[in-house]
């Protein structure tokens, strides 16, 4: 069976089979409550925190959910539900890696790409004096 191949059940609904190399694969040990980095981001040391998160998402094959390369399928696609499930998982992982004050300020962002961009826009500030 190919990655993302659909099977039909007796009631006509689709089941998407996803192999472990797919970005849409969720390992049985993955949970929304997982923390992927040793320390929650508190507003300081953004670059170090970002590096840890990027590494963790790379290992889990989920970088596409924060860089936008894993695009949401059409609502009628058999992969739509699985994409939403993965997106929600990635969003949860990001929120869990932030201190409560920060996560509370971004928890209503719609998807993982928007959440990642919001955190990056806020905290990845270049020091203009250093650049000069």
Q: What is the residue extent of each domain of the chain?
A: 37-126
User: What is the DSSP track for 54-89?
Assistant: HHHHHHTT-THHHHS-SPPPPTTSTTHHHHHHHHHH
Here the tokens at position 1 are 């069976």
- Give the chain's residues under pLDDT 70: 1-17, 126-132
Supply the pTM of this predicted model: 0.82
- pLDDT at residue 34, as a whole number: 92
**Tens-digit pLDDT profile for residues 74-111:** 999 999 999 999 999 999 999 999 999 999 999 999 89
- pLDDT at residue 53, as a whole number: 97
């Amino acid at each position: 069976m190919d990655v993302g191949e659909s099977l039909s059940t007796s009631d006509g609904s689709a089941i998407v089979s996803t192999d472990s190399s797919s970005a849409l694969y969720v390992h049985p040990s993955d949970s929304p409550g997982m923390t992927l980095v040793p320390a929650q981001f508190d507003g300081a040391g953004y670059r170090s925190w970002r590096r840890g998160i990027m590494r963790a998402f790379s290992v889990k094959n989920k970088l596409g959910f924060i860089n936008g390369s894993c695009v949401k399928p059409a609502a009628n696609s058999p992969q739509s539900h699985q994409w939403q499930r993965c997106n929600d998982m990635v969003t949860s992982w990001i929120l869990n890696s932030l201190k409560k004050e920060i996560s509370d300020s971004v928890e209503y962002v719609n998807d993982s790409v928007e959440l990642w961009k919001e955190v990056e826009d806020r905290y990845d500030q270049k020091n203009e004096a250093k650049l000069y």
